[in-house]
Amino acid sequence: MFGMKFLTQINFILSSGIVLIAFSLLAYMASTNFSNPVARAFCAMMAFVIATYSGDLVIPNVKELNTAFSWLRFQWLGISFIPAAYFHFADAILRASGSFSLWRRWISWVLYILSLLFFLIALKTDLLVYDGRYHGGLVYLTPGPLFPIFTAFFFLSCLSSLFILYKARQKAFTSTSRRRLSYLLGAFIGPGIGVFPYLLLSRTANLLTPPLVLFLSIVGNVMVALMLTVMAYVVAYYGALAPDRIIKHQLIHYLLRGPFVGICVIGVILLLSGVDSFLGLPGETVTIFAVVMTIVFLQILINKAKPFIDRLIYSRDRDEVTWIQELDKRLLTTTDLQQFLESILVALCELLRVRWGFVTFQGKTVEAHCGPLSAVSKALNSLPASLEKAPRVNLAEDLNIYDLGFWVIPIKLNEEEIGLLALEAPPPEAEFSSEELEVFNTLVRRIARALEDRVLQQKVFEALQHIIPDVESIRKWQSSLYSMPLEGAEAILELAGPEYQHWIKEALSNYWAGHKLAQSPLLKLKVVEKALAEHEGNPVKALRAVLKEAIEALKPEGKHPSGSLEWMLYNILEMRFLQGKRPREVAERLSISESDLYRKQRIAIEQVSKILAEMERREAYGNGKHDG
């Protein structure tokens, strides 16, 4: 009895987890990528999974058998529509790889209509299922005369969908896409495994005991949860503008802070549901405290594990990403610097037993002050243009302290003055111990270090201001890929991947080396095959013409403005590859360093790959070509 109760509770937790995971994934895809056909088909599938598993959560808590039977019929909203959702999803994946078929589109609509018909039959008649049995704590319906027909419909639709997905994998152009579609093939059976009513098969209910049914259900639910997560991982990349590492990072942390925490909370609630009291507290109070502590503890645990998780996610770019994260933490804003300097000024004034002080940065701009503002303004206005003739204070050997009626300490970086520290002069009779002088020196050095960091940060910000327009231009080029019909966007992303860009780079580098160009994988492109007719069937000439057309497509309109990134990238491509000039010669002509030339050349090749991908898309889809 205890074993049956334990299995029932574990199964309930897992069913709750699947509903939570499916709902979380539906919400994630709908909020981040709903404009993409693959994501929309995935959302439909998750909605039907939720409908099926919601029944599993409700049925154990109903008190009347007739009510349980009604909920079992409602579950057929998910069961009957999963085959159509499967086919819809597989067709969206194949269309994303560049294969369009009106027949598949019509079949998808027919399957949805048949699914609706099966659902209405299950809900309103006894032809598909009818009120069934209660056996050993399990409630299930009895199959009707149409159930074998539905079973054939279910499995034929799922097998057809699996074949379509396999066909999409075979059409994948890059190793990255093939790997992701392999993951999808392995996880694709998950929703089907989870929703099909196996107990309605004539011999299954008689062969399996209730504990064995629950054990198999637990194993199946664990598999379904993992498969849904893998499917979402692959779907998240379709049509997404963000880099892969950002997509992976967002999805993993979303799953950890959402579904994972939610499943743990559900488990705690169910495990404590039988507790009447603890340490004199009612069971409800104990449950509330346990839930709150679980949520807080898991958030702390996830935060602690975040660096390790990020290292796994950013395995290739670990050093760069770590540097960017550290830069974000360590950069001082103007307010940060003011607060830091003010705290040191207060400490210095307390140490010297004076009333005011201030720090300037790059001129007479007051960065921070303490004490009466009138005294600060008066001292600031009396500062001379040069301190060289001012008397010095012999307080510390390594500090230049000038006496102008108040103390002034220049802050320098590489012999260049970047700021001033000014303090009210202590009384002449004031004496300071060696410990106080050491603290004084330390505090002054901290102010100097803060101002030095401020100068360096300004240089970083200036560099970023020059880089950001370039990045914005690249983003605009990238976003232009998505102005095309959505069905072709994923194909363009696949063609613009790293492996494809490597082929582009090799082809451009060997632009005038015919024997090497003749071995390029790019010769298989449809746009190159089309160009054969215009170049006497010579594949090398056809590929050269296509590459030249792609480069010319990057040529900006209008005049040649100085400093324009678009013109710079076009000139690099034109001189380096079409004219065959050496890198040093090109760098001198464009007045840039060789390192900068190679950086911009890499950006230019990325843009050529995207232009070629667009040309290939137009050739493949623009002519109304369809499969099937």
In tens, the pLDDT along 352-409 reads 889 999 998 877 778 888 888 888 888 888 888 777 778 888 777 677 888 888 989 8
With cut-offs at 50, 70 and 90, classify the pLDDT of residue 278.
low
| Predicted local confidence at residue 473, as pLDDT | 52
CATH number at residue 358: 3.30.450.40
| Predicted local confidence at residue 494, as pLDDT | 47
Asked whether residue 232 falls in the same domain as residue 138, the answer is yes
Lookup result for tokens 């843009």: 607
- The DSSP-derived string for 125-182 is -SSSEEEEEEETTEEEEEE-TTHHHHHHHHHHHHHHHHHHHHHHHHH--SHHHHHHHH
Start-to-end CA span in the chain (Å): 56
Decide if 99 contacts 170 (C-beta within 8 A): no
Decide if 115 contacts 190 (C-beta within 8 A): no
What is the SS3 string spanning 399-433? CCEEECCEEEEEEEECCEEEEEEEEECCCCCCCCC
- Domain final residue, candidates 450, 474, 505: 450
Asked whether residue 384 falls in the same domain as residue 409, the answer is yes
Per mean pLDDT, which range of 56-70, 325-339, 571-585, 594-608 is the poorest? 325-339
Helix (H) or strand (E) holding 392: strand 392-393
Asked whether residue 307 falls in the same domain as residue 236, the answer is no
Decide if 240 contacts 33 (C-beta within 8 A): yes
Residue 36 within any structural domain of the chain: yes
With cut-offs at 50, 70 and 90, classify the pLDDT of residue 530.
confident
Asked whether residue 114 falls in the same domain as residue 6, the answer is yes
Residue 626 within any structural domain of the chain: no
| Beta strands in 208-290, from DSSP E residues, in sequence order | 277-278, 281-282
| Predicted local confidence at residue 315, as pLDDT | 63
CA-derived radius of gyration, the chain: 35
Q: What is the mean pLDDT of the chain?
A: 79
**Overall domain count for the chain:** 4
593-596 contact pairs (CB < 8 A, 24+): none
Residue 415 within any structural domain of the chain: yes
- Domain final residue, candidates 240, 257, 279: 240
Buried b (16+ CB within 10 A) or exposed e, 302-334: eeeeeeeebeebbeeeeeebeeeeeeeeeeeee
Domain of 255 in residue numbering reads as: 242-316
* 197: helix, strand or coil: coil
| Beta strands in 324-378, from DSSP E residues, in sequence order | 357-361, 366-370
Decide if 81 contacts 113 (C-beta within 8 A): no
Asked whether residue 280 falls in the same domain as residue 349, the answer is no
With cut-offs at 50, 70 and 90, classify the pLDDT of residue 495.
low
Residue 13 to residues 17, 288, 619, Cα–Cα distance (Å): 6, 18, 51
| Predicted local confidence at residue 36, as pLDDT | 83
With cut-offs at 50, 70 and 90, classify the pLDDT of residue 185.
confident
Residue 475 within any structural domain of the chain: no
Asked whether residue 204 falls in the same domain as residue 297, the answer is no
Residue 587 to residues 373, 556, 567, 606, Cα–Cα distance (Å): 55, 20, 14, 19
pLDDT at 624 over 50: no
Residue 40 within any structural domain of the chain: yes
The rounded percent of the chain whose pLDDT value lies above 90 is: 11
Name residues whose C-beta falls within 8 Å of residue 279's C-beta, 6 or more positions apart in sequence.
none
| Predicted local confidence at residue 488, as pLDDT | 39
The pTM (predicted TM-score) of the whole model is: 0.59
Asked whether residue 225 falls in the same domain as residue 302, the answer is no
What is the SS3 string spanning 576-587? HHHCCCCHHHHH
Residue 463 within any structural domain of the chain: no
CATH number at residue 12: 1.20.1070.10
| Predicted local confidence at residue 78, as pLDDT | 86
Phi, psi of 392 (to 5 degrees): -105, 155
| Predicted local confidence at residue 394, as pLDDT | 79
Residue 467 within any structural domain of the chain: no
Distance CA 96, CA 211 (A): 44
Residue 43 within any structural domain of the chain: yes
Asked whether residue 389 falls in the same domain as residue 252, the answer is no
- Domain final residue, candidates 191, 215, 240: 240
Task: Tell me the two tokens of residue 149.
Answer: 């027909």
| Predicted local confidence at residue 66, as pLDDT | 78
Asked whether residue 38 falls in the same domain as residue 117, the answer is yes
With cut-offs at 50, 70 and 90, classify the pLDDT of residue 626.
very low
For residues 606 and 557, the model is more confident at 606
Asked whether residue 488 falls in the same domain as residue 595, the answer is yes
Asked whether residue 125 falls in the same domain as residue 197, the answer is yes
Asked whether residue 381 falls in the same domain as residue 291, the answer is no
pLDDT at 120 over 90: yes
pLDDT at 102 over 60: yes
Per mean pLDDT, which range of 184-188, 209-213, 508-512 is the poorest? 209-213
pLDDT at 478 over 60: no
| Predicted local confidence at residue 121, as pLDDT | 93
Beta bridge partners of 357: 370, 423
The rounded percent of the chain whose pLDDT value lies above 70 is: 81
